[in-house]
């Protein structure tokens, strides 16, 4: 009952991006060759490495890349090594391959940085590909917002949620682009799991009551530190579901305004019932002691107030979003 009551007192909500505000179905939108190799060869290398990874972006690269190449003879990669929050490393033959975001690479030319920024400002997530220390290409992917996201955020604002913050491991430009599309008030990009925890702690200092909603393993620590942890149930990881106080089992973001609205309605009904029950006791005891009312009418009055409280509570069964 505690999390349900706290849900109605929220003033700020922090959202994970991928899988919560977006569909978590990124699509390959572009391939650029930056060295001597062709786009075809760059894509082959990316597919070979990402085949070894289970990350959603890796699956999108493999699926979209194979559709573009229309071939099955892709070179084999091995020795995959994940770099948390940044990308992956592997080998193809004797060549060392690195695929990841800009933060994984120490030195990039102004031209490459300009191309990356242009794509990211349009809402793309970019992955650079390096072979034996030389950047040979770039891949762009885009994850579209959930259809219900914009309307759900509008309803949350109408309910009095002052701040809605996006916390994501994607770079800040991508976070800002998605935020503008759906109406997020603040966007924070390039965050590792420990950065999300720190962001939640800082928000709690300012807003007191803060929820964190996410679906992945990386979101669980932040959910544990929030006032109320909320998991996107159907699509959420086991760790996220176990950590969360509340799970949206229908896996639809528009259930969140409903849950908060129901919580606030429940709080109002509880207060009304307390006033009714305590008010009746406060009236009946003096009347009975002073002899103004007999025990019979007092019992009837008390039981009547109990019925009123019960029927008032039953109104929650027919609650609907306004």
Render pLDDT for 185-239 as a digit per residue (tens, 0 to 9): 889 988 888 999 999 999 999 888 899 998 877 788 888 898 998 888 655 567 7
- Do both 103 and 170 map to the same domain? no
Into how many domains does the chain fold? 3
Model pLDDT, residue 293: 67
Q: Give, in degrees to the nearest 5, the angle at Cα 275 between 284 and 283.
A: 15
- Do both 42 and 97 map to the same domain? yes
Contact 264, 159 (CB under 8 A): yes
- Give 60-126 as a DSSP string: HHHHHHHHHH--S-PPP-EEEEEETTTEEEEEETTEEEEEE-GGG-S---HHHHHHHHHHHHTT-EE
- Exactly one of 16, 143, 170, 245 is catalytic; which is it? 16
- Is 16 among the residues known to form the active site? yes
Helix (H, G, I), strand (E, B) or coil at 292: coil
Residue 242 φ/ψ region, left for φ over 0, alpha for ψ in the -120 to 50 degree band, beta for the rest:
alpha
Which residues are within 8 A (CB) of 295 and not within 5 positions of it... i.e. 6 or more apart? 288
Range of the domain at 115: 27-142
Model pLDDT, residue 234: 59
- Do both 105 and 246 map to the same domain? no
Low pLDDT (below 70) residues in the chain: 1, 233-237, 293-294, 321-322
- Give 185-225 as a DSSP string: SEEE-S--HHHHHHHHHHHHHHHS-EEEEE-SGGGHHHHHH
- Do both 205 and 222 map to the same domain? yes
Of the candidates 32, 285, 241, the residue with the CA atom closest to the CA atom of residue 135: 32
What is the DSSP secondary structure assignment for residue 17, as one 8-state letter? I
The burial of 137, by beta-carbon neighbours within 10 Å (0-12 exposed, 13-18 middle, 19 or more buried), is given as buried
Q: Which residues pair with 210 in a beta bridge?
A: 12
- Do both 206 and 294 map to the same domain? no
**Cβ count within 10 A of residue 154:** 13
- Do both 117 and 138 map to the same domain? yes
- Do both 133 and 201 map to the same domain? no
Kindly give the pairing relationship between strand 125-131 and strand 95-100.
antiparallel
Model pLDDT, residue 42: 94
Q: What is the dihedral of CA 248, 252, 254, 257, to 10 degrees?
A: 10
Model pLDDT, residue 321: 62
Model pLDDT, residue 237: 63
Which CATH number fits the domain that encloses residue 50? 3.40.1110.10
Which CATH number fits the domain that encloses residue 161? 3.40.50.1000
- Do both 42 and 54 map to the same domain? yes
- Do both 188 and 270 map to the same domain? no
Side-chain-side CA neighbours of residue 18 (13 Å):
26
Render pLDDT for 263-300 as a digit per residue (tens, 0 to 9): 888 888 888 888 888 888 787 777 777 777 667 777 77
- Do both 154 and 17 map to the same domain? yes
- Do both 32 and 102 map to the same domain? yes
Q: How many separate helices (H) and strands (E) can be counted in the chain? A: 11, 12
């Amino acid at each position: 009952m505690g999390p349900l009551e706290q849900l109605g007192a929220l003033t700020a909500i922090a959202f994970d991006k991928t899988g919560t505000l977006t569909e978590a179905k990124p699509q390959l939108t572009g391939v650029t060759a930056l060295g001597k190799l062709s786009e075809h060869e760059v894509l082959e290398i990316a597919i070979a490495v990402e085949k070894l990874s289970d990350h959603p972006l890796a699956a999108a690269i493999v699926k979209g890349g194979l559709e573009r190449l229309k071939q099955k003879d892709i070179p084999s990669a091995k020795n995959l090594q994940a770099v948390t929050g940044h990308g992956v490393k592997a080998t193809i033959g004797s060549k060392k391959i690195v695929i990841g975001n800009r933060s994984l690479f120490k030195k990039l030319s102004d031209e490459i940085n300009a191309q990356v920024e242009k794509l990211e400002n349009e809402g793309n997530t970019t992955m650079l590909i390096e072979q034996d220390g030389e950047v040979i290409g770039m891949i762009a992917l885009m994850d579209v917002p959930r259809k219900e996201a914009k309307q759900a955020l509008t309803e949350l604002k109408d309910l009095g949620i002052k701040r809605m913050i996006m916390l994501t491991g994607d770079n800040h430009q991508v976070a800002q682009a998605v935020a503008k599309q759906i109406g997020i008030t603040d966007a924070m990009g390039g965050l590792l799991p420990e950065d999300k925890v720190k962001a939640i702690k800082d928000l709690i200092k300012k807003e007191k009551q803060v929820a964190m909603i996410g679906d992945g393993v990386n979101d669980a620590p932040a959910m544990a530190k929030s006032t109320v942890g909320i998991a996107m149930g159907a699509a959420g990881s086991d760790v996220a579901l176990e950590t969360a106080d509340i799970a949206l089992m229908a896996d639809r973001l528009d259930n969140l305004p409903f849950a908060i609205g129901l919580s606030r309605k429940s709080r109002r009904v509880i207060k009304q019932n307390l006033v009714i029950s305590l008010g009746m006791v406060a009236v009946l005891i003096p009347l009975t002691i002073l002899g103004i009312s007999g025990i019979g009418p007092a019992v009837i009055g008390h039981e009547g107030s109990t019925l009123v409280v019960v029927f008032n509570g039953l109104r929650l069964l027919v609650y609907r979003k306004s």
